[in-house]
Amino acid sequence: MIRAAVVAVVVGACACAPPTVTFDVPISAETLVTEGSLLEEILGDFGFGELADLDIEGTSEFENEDVRREQVVTARLTVLNLSIKAPQGANFDWLDSVAFSVAADGEEDAPVGDKTIDNGLAAFACDLDDVDLSPYIRASSMAVTTQADAIHPPQDTTVQVDLNFSITAEIL
């Protein structure tokens, strides 16, 4: 009887899912959106260079948790904010709407957030899509891209994007 109970406990322990850890990975990037001339009014996108080839496994958060990208079970974007860093007093009146997507080798591009921008804003939070980004996080690198409906601003403008990924990974 005791042997059967021990066997049941051992078999039950093996059937359990491995333990997991959940942690946040905040990422910020900046881009310079140049002043427009009469010949270049339309602006279809503005790239954030640091997000073009993002290796999220290389962040200190992954290192602190002793996790590799192959261990990621789920990943969600929980923050996607834009703000103007310079010039002081500038706003996003030149931007009508913006949409963000993620891409990785072997995966279809996935929309992650967008926003239609009201006049007078110098900062805003995008509306987020509920997408499991774990296949993108597990890829060797991923890209976060923008699509904008905009004209060039009246002066060179530095825009910052702040993202936060909530990651759940198996602990080995």
CATH classification at residue 51: 2.60.120
Predicted pLDDT of residue 15: 63
82 lies in a domain? yes
pLDDT value of position 47: 76
pTM of the model: 0.85
**Inside any domain, residue 159:** yes
Q: What is the pLDDT of residue 49?
A: 80
The backbone torsions φ and ψ at residue 19, rounded to the nearest 5 degrees and listed phi first, read: -65, 155
Domain-embedded: residue 106:
yes
Parent domain of 27: 20-170
- Determine how many CB atoms are found less than 10 A away from the CB of residue 54: 23
Q: Is residue 12 part of a domain?
A: no
C-beta of residue 164 within 8 angstroms of C-beta of residue 107: no
Of the candidates 117, 156, 161, the residue with the CA atom closest to the CA atom of residue 36: 156
Residues 6+ away with beta carbon under 8 Å from 153:
33, 35, 36, 90, 94
Tell me whether residue 4 is in a domain: no
pLDDT value for 172: 78
Type and span of the H or E element at 33: strand 20-33
What total of structural domains would you count in the chain? 1
In order along the chain (172 residues), what is the average pLDDT of each group of 10 residues? 47 70 96 76 73 90 94 98 97 95 94 97 98 96 92 92 97 84
